[in-house]
Structure 1
Amino acid sequence: MSAKRTERLLTLVIMLLSSRRGFTKEDLFSEIDLYREATSSAAREKLFDRDKAALREQGIPLESFSEDAMFDNDNTVQRYRINAEDYRLGGVSFLPEEYAVLNLAAGVWDQGSLDSAASRALRKLSSRSTDGDVELTPLIQPRITTDAPYWDIVWQALTSRSPLRFPYRAASTGREEVRTIHPWGMGARFGHWYVVGYDTTREAERFFRLSRMTGEPVVLGGTFEVPASFDMNRTLSSLSRTEPDRTAVVAVRPGSCQVLRVRKDTEVTRTGQEWDLLRVPYAASSPMAATIAGLGVNARVEEPQELVTEVARLLDGAYEAAGKAPRDLEITDGVRPAPRRKASSQDHLLRLLDLVPYLLAHPGAEIGETARRFEISESQLTKDLDLLFVSGPRHYPDALMDVNIEDGRIYLSNARDLAEPVKLSMDEACSLIVGLQALQELTGMRDNEAIVSAQTKLSIAAGDAARIGNAVATKLTEDDLDPTLEVLQAALQGGVRIAVDYFVPTRDEITHRLLEPIRIFLHQDTWYLEAWSTEANGLRNFRLDRIQSARLTEEPATAGRDEVSLARTRRTSSPYRAAEADQTVTLVLEPSARWIAAQYNAEAVQELGEDRLAARLRVASSAWIPGLVAGLGGSAAVSAPNAVREETLRWLEAARAHHALT
């Protein structure tokens, strides 16, 4: 980033805020030394145009006007100012418990588009929080991810109210068509992000799943109005999963295939020494066929024939891919770090504009604590303070800020024009408003008074930006999980153990466990319970959708406090725990199966060209790997170790022969 450009932008903001009458360009060029350093008048003009655009891009309300209406279109007599009322955050203050739930709301965003916006919003509101530190450790920890394809582009069209055009493959027909919509809202449900809007071709409101866009969307010119009655929360609630409308008759070996037996409304119509017969409802052939293919020789479809054919196709594809997979592929790239956006002068400017009101609201703030709050190093904070000291109009030295550091504490004065935080931008408002809505949906928090009052005050503080609360929504839990969540929440609050029946797909069995719950967290749209297992005498993670039953006991939880504290304070959560006895398996993934790397927390990945990926997974047992690749039908194959590769080939060969008997 350029410190000179940041200084120039900050000085420009200070000057434009200081006068209701505003300044001409010549006034500004005269007062701000860094404009006079331009090599020519044309370069100076271009520099000023870039700076105006940068301020407006960051939501700073820079106005241009003429004192004489006859010269409105004459740039040479234009005056510029920042309207202080439009610039400053609404005058509300938050109680400690309200600021604590705002912290929780900011924390629900996973690293991505709105994660940094949430941090900026909290910094601004911190100067409006009354004294009294209140920290909440949520027992239920939701996470919202924004890693869906083209999320940022759709967000840009939504917030600017610009039409959007994109190629799209419909699930119902499989055909690819170019669609043009007026995006009214975005929402996340069932593990997917959707955009909702007016389809200009169908002339009706339509849902579109971002992952079904087959190419990069284009933001078009023009604008539109969103119907006053539109509410994304209500619209998202109307979206439902496809209900089962078909039934499969499946023969399964006794005691096996629990994944089919525990499905809702499955019927056991016959039992026998060699085979049980199940009637299993399902909605779509592809996921059902993948499930049955993954069961290998323990299941066989009796009817319908289309499902028989689909299972055979998956097994043939998996076997062919397994034979062609390279042997013992070595990954050399290591783990890819998450991409970090390069900091810009605009980012630096926003931090400085947040820093000034924070320091004025907290006189004597300690350097280390301030640096941590702004997520920068102490040396960077010192540079920021030096920049504040020198920024301002040169001909008015009494207008410069005074910065003093005494005994490691910061004192700032003479900064009246920057004393109030900048109003919340659209993405900042969205991050907290939607975060609070997500928290309020959770079992045990629906009637939380602090959340309700924080929502009300936040809407006032956000002003016009608060409209985003009707345009973005998430639904992180479904009704079928609520009973389990209620039991787990009661156990967490009461500090007692729970007894659960738990389905273990890798061993194809239902086990009985005695657990001491520690927290509930969301990862990749799947809810997990982190608990102390009395049988294993250690921490384990359990998927909530695999808990068949859960009941409270009267036995107190006795897990070690250090383990519990460690688990509760982790910012990021992964359902997979490494152990010394773990082994590694390297898979070759086709484009449609790249999600495996993220879903199973690959410890290393490497691009192979043509959008194929090699991923090395750490697993406690490799017994479930053949079933995984079978269900993927050739989109994944084992490369290493060779013993697992050969075992997978034998497993697939036997499964193909078994299903060929149908």
Structure 2
Amino acid sequence: MSAKRTERLLTLVILLLSSKRGFSKEELFEEIELYREAPTPAAREKLFDRDKAMLREQGIPLESFSEDPLFETDNTVQRYRINAEEYQLTGVTFTAEEYTFLSLAAGMWDPASLDSAPSRAMRKLSLRTPGSEPPAPLPVQPRIRTSEPYWDEVWRAMAARRTITFTYRAASTGREEKRTVRPWGMGSRFGHWYLVGFDADRQAERFFRLSRMTSPPALREGGFEPPESFDINAALASLTRRDTEGTAELLVRPGTCNILRVRRGSALVEHGEEWDRLRVPYTGLPALAAEVAGFGANASVVEPAELGARVRELLTGALDAARTAPEVELTGAQGTLPRRKSSAQDHLLRLLDLVPYLLAHPGADLKETAQRFEVTEAQLTRDLDLLFVSGPRHYPDGLMDVDVEGGRIYLSNARNLSQPVRLAMDEACTLIVGLQALRDLPGIAAHPALATAQAKLTAAAGDAARMGTVVATRLSEDEVQPHLELFQEALRRGVQVEMSYLVPARDQITERVIEPVRAFSQDDRWYVEAWCTSSAGFRNFRLDRIQDVRLTDRPVTRGGETGPSHEAAPSTGLYIPSPDDRSVVLVLKESARWIAAQYSAVRTEALGDGSLAAELRVGSVAWLPGLIAGLGGAAAVAGPRDLRAEVLRWLEAALASTAA
């Protein structure tokens, strides 16, 4: 059914672009055979209404107008067309440097963000950049995380300007309350995404952290217009970091829990032979509970009681999951996580991008084209077959000519689709927001090509450019920026860096001499990839775990050699493989599937209960029990057996210590 709907939609687009006079419904139903296959006239009308709505949702300017100006509201004489000038992305070209920044802005988003809008946008803009090629990796590679609860739902409501209702756990009271909000904008700050809008109950502008939403947002009838003066960047700038929501008192084993000891605001209250008493500020009790649970028998909560109860709940859930996890041995071929099944909507957008690309590249290589459009060669061949049969049957030269000779693609007779489609709302959003975020990064912000790329893109995006005032993200806060500047200076000068670094897996502060390769962000954390001279290998170091850092005058020893992950985007994960790695199989519930992506699972397999089995390659398993504990049952070790037994004993000891 998806292929038939795609063919129907593509034919509808071709037909509506072909005439300024437009077509009545009856004429469209006569020209497009797939409408005539509907079982009843009512079903045919419903199909047409769905198709119109889908095209408009994707920014395709489908117009309806009256044939008789004296009866503009008479639906019986409505005609339909697509305004070619509004449809086409024309009048803009980008230099190679500008295209590099556009690619960087697109690559910052999670691969699944906004249904692959970043890659769709770059396919279109590549036709507006002479000789555009994938840019070389930059020494600073940021990422935008969109995995917080209900991110997509909030974005769609905001883009459509629809009021939403949801339940929300307030930070001040901890109570869940129903909220009715007009979503004016959304943005990321201090590692969290916020919805900014008009709270109908309180009759005032309010901020809502997405991680505190406890139910999916439901759309209300009717729309709204945000204030003309609203700007999400100004709203985010008004936010201040809330240093503490509370203070916890913990007992920790001497020499352990260093990540808590070095936290800003932490204080050693009392030192003892068996236990140290530590006072730790926190901004979110669930996050601190996961950390404390991850230290197992080395940490115990004194107060607040709610924190202790939450830690016990996490350890109990993790222990139950460890005891009941199935034994799984993955034997299938290695590969990436399964991708979301493509819809007719995705298919149509790909075809509308494919036609202008093939017209601009006569004789395009089949294999290279498939890679560019992120499909298999078999799928691309099916796409070409679909292009060949799509179009009005009763018009002279109504169908496209498609030939594949010796692995080369030739397409003609597609004049109406020769230009790429104007950027849709989500496509413009990803690039404009990405470029704005780059302008806050040290070492990049002052580059003139970044400013000109943003100006050209904003002009080309038309009405979709308004997303630049309602969505924003800040990629680095003040405490991280000095480290980013220092590592960029080290890269420019080609010198080594000395630092003191906290290693949570070993719970130690170590002294390192490193040679930086790049800085990148993932999951709202910044890392530097570097050659570590003490380990004689490439390592990733988290910037917020660096206790002290100093530039040296000593030149690097590896002459600009890059690490094994440097050629890949940061989305490939933080883990750098080694021949001595060990295989581990985890069973992951939906909320923990991110582990498979972040740690570059070599095999995955969907299980019958909706969970995912993932095989990871790890250099050390010392950190696994703490990870499992903090997830509270969302993940468990399924193999090998000795590691499964080891984690089970660790969790039993950790839970027993909470009752002591």
TM-score using structure 1 length: 0.85
The correspondence of residues 164-563 of structure 1 with structure 2, limited to 5 A, is 164-244=164-244, 255-266=255-266, 306-307=303-304, 309=305, 313=309, 327=323, 329-332=325-328, 338=337, 340-404=339-403, 408-559=407-558
CA contact under 8 A between 1:29 and 1:35: conserved in structure 2? Answer: yes
Alpha-carbon separation, structure 2, partners of 1:518 and 1:243: 33
Alpha-carbon separation, structure 1, partners of 2:490 and 2:321: 47
Alpha-carbon separation, structure 1, partners of 2:183 and 2:78: 36
Deviation at 1:252, TM superposition (A): 6.7
Deviation at 1:588, TM superposition (A): 8.8
CA contact under 8 A between 1:314 and 1:634: conserved in structure 2? Answer: no
The structure with the largest alpha-carbon Rg is: 1
The match for 2:13 is: 13
CA contact under 8 A between 2:250 and 2:303: conserved in structure 1? Answer: no
Deviation at 1:259, TM superposition (A): 2.6
Deviation at 1:198, TM superposition (A): 0.3
Alpha-carbon separation, structure 1, partners of 2:480 and 2:165: 37
Is the partner of 1:540 in helix, strand or coil? strand
Is the partner of 1:163 in helix, strand or coil? strand
CA distance 1:314–1:431, shift in 2 (3 Å): closer
Moved more, 172-181 or 413-422: 413-422
CA distance 1:338–1:181, shift in 2 (3 Å): farther
Alpha-carbon separation, structure 2, partners of 1:330 and 1:49: 48
Choose the corresponding residue for 2:648, options 645, 649, 652. Answer: 645
Is the partner of 1:568 in helix, strand or coil? coil
CA contact under 8 A between 2:166 and 2:178: conserved in structure 1? Answer: yes
Is the partner of 2:182 in helix, strand or coil? strand
> CA offsets, 1:180-228, max 9 Å, x none?
1000011123333221100000001111122222222211110111111
The match for 1:156 is: 156
CA distance 1:533–1:180, shift in 2 (3 Å): same
The residue type paired with residue 470 of structure 1 is T
The residue type paired with residue 143 of structure 1 is R
Alpha-carbon separation, structure 2, partners of 1:173 and 1:326: 34
CA distance 1:561–1:71, shift in 2 (3 Å): same
Alpha-carbon separation, structure 1, partners of 2:390 and 2:224: 41
How many residue pairs are counted as aligned between the two chains? 652
CA distance 1:586–1:190, shift in 2 (3 Å): farther
- Would you say 1:138 and 2:138 are equivalent positions? yes
Is the partner of 2:453 in helix, strand or coil? helix
Is the partner of 2:162 in helix, strand or coil? coil
Deviation at 1:121, TM superposition (A): 1.0
The match for 2:77 is: 77
CA contact under 8 A between 2:520 and 2:570: conserved in structure 1? Answer: no
The match for 2:98 is: 98
Alpha-carbon separation, structure 2, partners of 1:43 and 1:480: 60
Alpha-carbon separation, structure 2, partners of 1:135 and 1:115: 23
CA distance 1:95–1:202, shift in 2 (3 Å): same
Deviation at 1:496, TM superposition (A): 2.6
Alpha-carbon separation, structure 1, partners of 2:91 and 2:39: 43
CA distance 1:214–1:370, shift in 2 (3 Å): same
Is the partner of 1:641 in helix, strand or coil? helix
CA contact under 8 A between 1:101 and 1:136: conserved in structure 2? Answer: no
The correspondence of residues 600-619 of structure 1 with structure 2, limited to 5 A, is none
Deviation at 1:27, TM superposition (A): 3.0
Is the partner of 1:422 in helix, strand or coil? coil
CA distance 1:105–1:462, shift in 2 (3 Å): same
> CA offsets, 1:577-600, max 9 Å, x none?
455655677889999988877777
Deviation at 1:164, TM superposition (A): 0.4
Alpha-carbon separation, structure 2, partners of 1:195 and 1:590: 27
> CA offsets, 1:81-118, max 9 Å, x none?
11222222242111121112111111111122326111
CA distance 1:503–1:194, shift in 2 (3 Å): same
CA contact under 8 A between 1:317 and 1:634: conserved in structure 2? Answer: no
Moved more, 149-158 or 196-205: 149-158
Moved more, 568-577 or 266-275: 266-275
Alpha-carbon separation, structure 2, partners of 1:288 and 1:373: 43
TM-score using structure 2 length: 0.85
The match for 1:660 is: none
Alpha-carbon separation, structure 2, partners of 1:612 and 1:349: 31
CA contact under 8 A between 2:121 and 2:423: conserved in structure 1? Answer: yes
CA distance 1:311–1:626, shift in 2 (3 Å): farther
The residue type paired with residue 474 of structure 1 is T
